[in-house]
Structure 1
């Protein structure tokens, strides 16, 4: 808002009480104030955006004896026009019949005037008048309306521009702004000043209905070759409620025509290097615009140049395609060349494919390469990378698998070769039988350890016939275990039969009957014969130590008894004697129980000795 100016302060409007008060003097005062104030002397300024509401505060202190308030507007060379009235006593509001402001006004209780839908024609000086019985107070406010113009757009653009020729590039247009904006042309972000190579003409149009401005600027331009891909823009600079602002158009590039001065040959491939089997696309281009459409291509091994468009394709190239390639304009005035290298890689694996060998045999393996660059070789077995190349002096089942020899040229993307060796190691079935008793002694687990490839089929038999209820572990590296559970009531002989395409192997094992334990307490059995013997030895040592401790406790108790017997009566002596008689009976029961365990464990030792003898017989 503006502060009161000296000119406004010096205005002839009455600012002091009228003497004496009268209606005639009041009317004269209103008339005098209407004539006194002129546009341009407003004390306050309200900036409004086109189409928004105009808010005009009264900026006067409301006197206590106020009768009414009024608003009017003033324009140069025209009489003042009253537009709104509010009575302070009757609390009523009236709006004058002014066509321009019909249904657009609202006067609040604090005498703030609102005008909806601001227009360019609202740029006037509005005056707030507060009238008392003997005085009139006025305060003018100047309204400024602003309208942001549309974003500039380059229209009527040229299809192309030619070097050394002045031609209309296009027109920059910005519409419906207020006040009038200014247009500026830019090339690559730099302002274009009017010169012989850049001629600028501007025109302005006013909408008679809205009062808004449309600005148009045309540019004639003489380009150079350096203007290829140059970005042309234009901007409009205008004043808004907060000051000067700028809007820039979208950038536009123009096709610049100029003659060819140089020819270039390029190799278009998906990768930076070329390998055998690739397709090669040669591109020949001239730096003129529009570019030349036909060229001569010179291919190694071809006696004459080949006339073609800008692209020439060679398919499925071989290593002999390495050499110098050239292209030129059809008049051979300009020419360019390039060197192409076709990379190759050969690999030979011996032996390869499927190879069947017997266990224990030797197998030499070699992998040789030939390439255009140094190659890297590595081996994989069953999708796992190996640290070194395979070497087989004595084949084992775990040596079987898929071996891959792979080589790559690190400098050439996608150039790699591989060959596969599928090694099969065969062997006749080998059998070893073992047995163990369960922890609770209720059954025996008999295991038949089988080796061989192809995987042998296993069958169990006994004196009672074929046994079908078996369990098998996973077949890994030519080995697996077939198991059965039995609880024989008497000694039996079990036979394990393993057979594959190479041979049939049979082994038998004698198994003793399950002995029913005399105690309800479970006996502990180990999973291995050697561990079983060790556990039995530990048990015997424990029993002996326990008996010694029991004897020591009995001796101490008897000594204490003899000492106390001297100080107690006959009845106490009898009771003590009964306690001592009870102690040997407990010791006797503990010794008998421990003896039973020893007998059972010694029985297991004898059974394991028989198992070892049977295994020796089977192997023999």
Structure 2
């Protein structure tokens, strides 16, 4: 039974148009040979038809069929001028639609969710026009699925070089459609089957989904050169309209082969070896075999370490390799030489005394396996190069510690040293003689005397009158230098002598001391800061008291209370024509009257 649906207006219009044209000629149908599509995508198959004469008035019928084989052919769709029908119970009943492209004479079959079962299925388009004839065309559907990335796995154990063909690696690619192909490569060169040399075996597996998986094994006769070879597999597969390729990761294989030579060398230290170093030997062969066995001077293993080597470790060292599986025995030698530098010998040695202004010489040397360089130092400064130290006219400045350093230029940090203590003995020598004049007003003065001498001198202090102030009680030795101090009581200008002497001579220095007597300060009235105000206040009070006393006296005078005791009979006050005030005073002892004016001038009596 067929399902009948109303035909689309566009398709019905197309059919009516063809009917109106009324073509009388045969119908021509054109279709593509194939349509390619990815699994799960949508496929569109176009049917294009036309006739030579559209003048007829008959109707048109359109039908779609799928053909898997001659025994599996079935209609899936039909269309006439009135209706369209999608046939039931076919593999495509729920997955197809038919429509037009908008161009006259073109119909499109759309297949959704393409399955692997659709691959290689032919879809026929049958067109019949009444009165004109019929035509049909066919398109085959091709389905594709991109496979997963290929994986490669090399053999875990090593492969021995031999005449046998052995498994090298396996490659697998999964879930592709159609069947993918695998090609093997060694160093970018493809590998093909070669009898007794290379064997490539492919196995194709069809999954329950219908997809293909391919496994491939590579077997070959391994050679020594294959130890550095790079192997990988390449997968080629089809996609709509093209062929693509995927490569696996690259791998190396472990190749076992017997040794043909062996080598022994000093790995460390680099360069020349010296006593005290740690020496490491390494031994290696050009073979790669699990059955190799190494010994170095009867010590098992590929390496030998010796710490704190001495010259006695110098000699020939041998490495031996035995490959029992391949019946190989090889050996190699190397020579170790440990360089040495003996202790430094100085002559004369220890502590040496030299007379002042005399010459001194010393030698320094050390035995070494290499050429050496010798340098003399004093107080960290270079004083001489070479084995000999020559000092002329030694002084106290020459005394000290001399260090002889012997180095080996060819080996860094290879050196030895020894020291010599030089003492210069001679007469005392007083330092800083120019600072001998001093001026002071102190009653007590400390004087210092600096002397260079060896042995330590006797030091005495004295004055110009022959008095001994002090001996060397306060003297301290600092190497070949002595320091003496004395306290001198000063009461006047004094001359003090510092005398130093030993078995080789003497020296002295004179200190001229000028004593300046301090002036006695004049006594000064000490007035406290606040006394000036008190004095001023007292003066003001005195002035006020005098004014008050004067006022009282004047008041009493006006009242006539004063001068009665002196026998004065009266006071006469009159104003003269010259505006002078005259006071006449009379005394019982004299009759002479003395007249005083206001200006304090004495006046004679007859002037009144």
**For the superposition of Structure 1 and Structure 2, which TM-score range results when normalised by the shorter chain?**
0.3 to 0.5
Normalising by structure 2, report the TM-score. 0.44
Normalising by structure 1, report the TM-score. 0.44
Higher helix share: 1
Specify the structure having the higher radius of gyration (Cα).
2
Higher strand share: 2
